[in-house]
Structure formats: C-alpha cells, structure tokens
C-alpha cells in the first residue's frame, strides 16, 4: 500500500483534495486489491449518474491483450489486460450508473468507462 502521510499531504496541499470515506470519494488512487469490493464506491444516482467515483488504478504493466473491449470511442475491438473480467461486466451492466477507471503503469495510461462492453475472446 502507498497510503503514506507525505503523499496525503502533497495531494491535499497541491490539489486541494480532501480525504474521505470510500463511499464519498470522487477519485480514488491505489492498486486493484485495495479497491475491492467495488460496491463501496459511489455508483452515481438515477438523476445524476455522473456523481460516481473514478478509480485510478496502478498496475505493474498494461498490455494490449486479454479482455476484448467494445463501445463508444473504440473502433471495432481493442484488447486490454484487466485484473478480472467479471467485475467490469457487472459495472457495465449498471449503466448509466457505475464507476469509471483509469489504469496507470510506468508511462502508460488507459481509461475504461462504464459504457465499455467487456468480454473474453
């Protein structure tokens, strides 16, 4: 875990971001295991689906292999190394509610919105 007081201070000072309970967070930073269970985060509301959390997930690597991704902003199909497929399928089924994800590894970054359809291929 990288829950270090110096990092909390840096984020609070430079971003003005308060630290709150998971159920209140707009943005969350950590690794996949620290994020579970996903239902602890805001999923949005029927009238305000945009009031959900965005999870920024640190991964050891990002690969263009694994799960098949389809949906808005994706031409045909793209492949992505997700930590699990079922969690993202369940998240997409909540649409228009659900969580958005940003994956980071070294200098690579990838976004996965709740509109993305995830399958095994």
Ordered structural domains, the chain, with CATH: 23-119 (3.40.50.11310)
Mean pLDDT per 10-residue segment, the chain (121 residues)? 82 91 94 94 96 96 95 95 95 96 95 95 79
pLDDT at residue 97 in the model: 98
CA gap 81, 97 in Å, rounded: 23
pLDDT at residue 1 in the model: 54
CA gap 84, 95 in Å, rounded: 19
Nearest CA to 73 out of 110, 98, 35, 42 is that of: 110
């Amino acid at each position: 875990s990288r829950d270090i007081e110096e990092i909390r201070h840096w984020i609070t000072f430079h971003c003005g971001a308060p630290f709150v309970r998971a159920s209140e967070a707009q943005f969350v930073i950590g690794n996949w295991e620290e994020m579970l269970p996903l239902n602890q985060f805001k999923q949005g509301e029927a009238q305000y689906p945009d009031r959900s959390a965005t999870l920024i997930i640190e991964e050891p690597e990002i690969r263009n292999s694994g799960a098949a991704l389809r949906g808005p902003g994706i031409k045909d199909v793209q492949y992505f190394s997700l930590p699990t497929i079922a969690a993202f399928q369940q998240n997409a089924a909540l649409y228009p509610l659900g969580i958005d994800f940003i994956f980071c590894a070294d200098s690579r970054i990838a976004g996965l919105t709740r509109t993305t359809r995830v399958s095994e291929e």
